[in-house]
C-alpha cells in the first residue's frame, strides 16, 4: 500500500488515490435564464438528515457554477447503466456543450426547475443555501426540497477512472 508522509501530492496522484473508491455516477444540473447547465458530479453527498442537506463540490472554472449561483438551485441525478453515455457528455469528453447536452424528451423538472433525468435511478432536487469557496473549488450546499426514486436498474459506478456497473443478486 502506498502512503504519503509529509510530501506534496499532485493532482494526478490525488485523482488516482480517490479513484480507489467506488462512487455512484451523477449529473448535477441547474437552469437559469440562460438555459440549462450541468456537470459530472462525483462528489455529491449528504451533509445532514435533519435538516435534509446535500452538498456537491464544483470546480471554480466549471461553467455550470454560474448557473447554480444564478438559479439558486441544483439537482443531483443518479445515473443508471443505461444512461452511462451521459458520463462522457457531462464529463466534457464529447463535443456537446451547454444546453446541447440536454436531449429533448429525456429531461423534465421537479420543484426547483433544474433539469431532471427522466430515467434516473434517483433525483435529489435542492434549493441552494450556501456556497463555500476553497482551493479552486466551491462547495454548493442545498436543502432537499423534492426527490424522485426511479427504476431499480443497475447503477453506473465510477471506479479507478472507469465506468462499471454493480450487478445485483
Per-residue pLDDT tens digits for 61-112: 999 999 999 999 999 999 999 999 999 999 999 999 999 999 999 999 999 9
N-terminal to C-terminal alpha carbon distance within the chain: 31
- State the pLDDT confidence band at 160, using cuts at 50, 70 and 90: confident
Over residues 136-141, mean pLDDT: 96
> How far apart (Å, rounded) are the C-alpha atoms in residues 143 and 169?
34
* CA dist., res. 106 & res. 118, Å (int): 6
Task: Identify which has the larger pLDDT, 31 or 158.
Answer: 31
CA 70 from chain centre, in angstroms, equals: 18
Judge whether 90 and 101 are in contact, CB under 8 Å. Answer: yes
- Of 2-11, 41-50, 86-95, 119-128, which range is least confident? 2-11
Tell me: pLDDT of 3 over 70: no
Question: Would you place residue 17 in the very low, low, confident or very high pLDDT band (cuts 50, 70, 90)?
Answer: confident
- Domain 22-43+67-127+145-161 in CATH 2.30.110.10? The answer is yes
Residue positions counted in the chain = 169
Q: Is the pLDDT of residue 151 over 80?
A: no
Q: Is the pLDDT of residue 125 over 60?
A: yes
Q: Which of 14, 20, 18, 22 is nearest to 164 (CA)?
A: 22
Eight-class DSSP state of 111: S
pLDDT over 80 at 22, yes or no: yes
Per mean pLDDT, which range of 18-22, 82-86, 97-101, 129-133 is the poorest? 18-22
Q: What is the DSSP letter of 79?
A: P
In the predicted structure, residue 15 carries a pLDDT above the cut 80 = no
Amino acid at each position: 500500500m502506498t502512503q504519503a508522509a509529509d510530501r506534496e501530492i499532485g493532482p494526478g496522484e490525488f485523482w488516482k488515490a480517490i479513484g480507489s473508491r467506488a462512487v455512484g455516477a451523477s449529473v448535477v444540473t441547474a437552469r437559469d435564464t440562460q438555459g440549462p447547465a450541468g456537470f459530472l458530479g462525483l462528489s455529491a453527498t449528504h451533509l445532514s438528515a435533519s435538516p435534509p442537506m446535500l452538498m456537491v463540490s464544483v470546480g471554480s472554472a466549471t461553467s455550470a457554477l454560474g448557473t447554480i449561483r444564478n438559479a439558486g438551485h441544483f439537482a443531483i441525478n443518479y445515473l443508471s447503466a443505461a444512461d452511462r453515455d451521459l458520463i462522457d457528455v457531462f464529463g466534457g469528453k464529447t463535443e456537446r456543450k451547454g444546453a446541447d447536452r440536454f436531449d429533448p424528451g429525456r429531461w423534465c423538472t421537479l420543484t426547483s426547475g433544474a433539469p431532471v433525468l427522466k430515467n434516473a435511478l434517483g433525483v435529489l432536487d435542492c434549493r441552494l443555501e450556501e456556497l463555500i469557496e476553497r482551493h479552486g473549488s466551491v462547495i454548493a450546499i442545498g436543502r432537499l426540497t423534492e426527490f424522485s426514486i426511479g427504476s431499480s436498474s443497475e447503477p453506473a459506478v465510477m471506479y479507478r477512472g472507469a465506468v462499471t456497473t454493480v450487478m445485483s443478486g
